[in-house]
Amino acid sequence: MSADQIIVTLIGIALSFLVGWYFWFSRKEAVKIKTADSGVQEALIKVKGGYSPDLLVFEAGKPIKLTFYREETAACSEEVIFPDFNKKATLTPFKNITVELNIDKPGEYSFHCGMGMLRGKLIVE
């Protein structure tokens, strides 16, 4: 193997590790949601190739209002499912769709698209 081939191979391996780390081990920034004057914790989640933000922190015992705005027409993002609450919603492209939850018990609760490819998490403290 020539020196050029060795260098290209090493760069390829290094880039593979970097991509793997980014997708599987990088820390996600949690967004702490404040309570509005109405007593409701409201969050806007944009949907385009994923959920943004995809990690949200709420207070237990206060109503939660999640507004999803779908910025695409991809089939994967047309539904959001909250398996812990047996709840789901169809997300119409380019429209706000609201999901209301009441979570009294602290914990971590996941949500995902209908195909399971787009994922997010609610942390209730």
Residue 66 near residue 85, CB atoms below 8 Å: no
The domain locations on the chain are 31-124
pLDDT in tens, 81-103: 999 999 999 999 999 999 999 99
The more confident residue out of 124 and 14 is: 124
Domain 31-124: give its CATH code: 2.60.40.420
Dihedral of CA 45/51/56/60: which sign?
Answer: positive
User: Is pLDDT of 9 > 70?
Assistant: yes
Q: Please state, for a pLDDT cut of 90, what percent of the chain lies above it.
A: 76
Dihedral of CA 88/89/93/95: which sign?
Answer: negative
Residue 5 contacts by C-beta under 8 Å, 6 or more apart in sequence? none
> Quick one: pLDDT at residue 37?
93
- Give the number of other Cβ atoms within 10 Å of residue 25's Cβ: 7
| Average pLDDT score, the chain | 93
- 79-82 β-sheet, strand order: 31-32, 55-58, 119-124, 107-113, 79-82, 87-90
pLDDT in tens, 48-76: 999 999 999 999 999 999 999 999 999 99
- Global pTM reads 0.79
> Quick one: pLDDT at residue 15?
85
- Residue 70 has, within 13 A of its CA and on its CB side, a CA count of 19
The more confident residue out of 29 and 34 is: 34
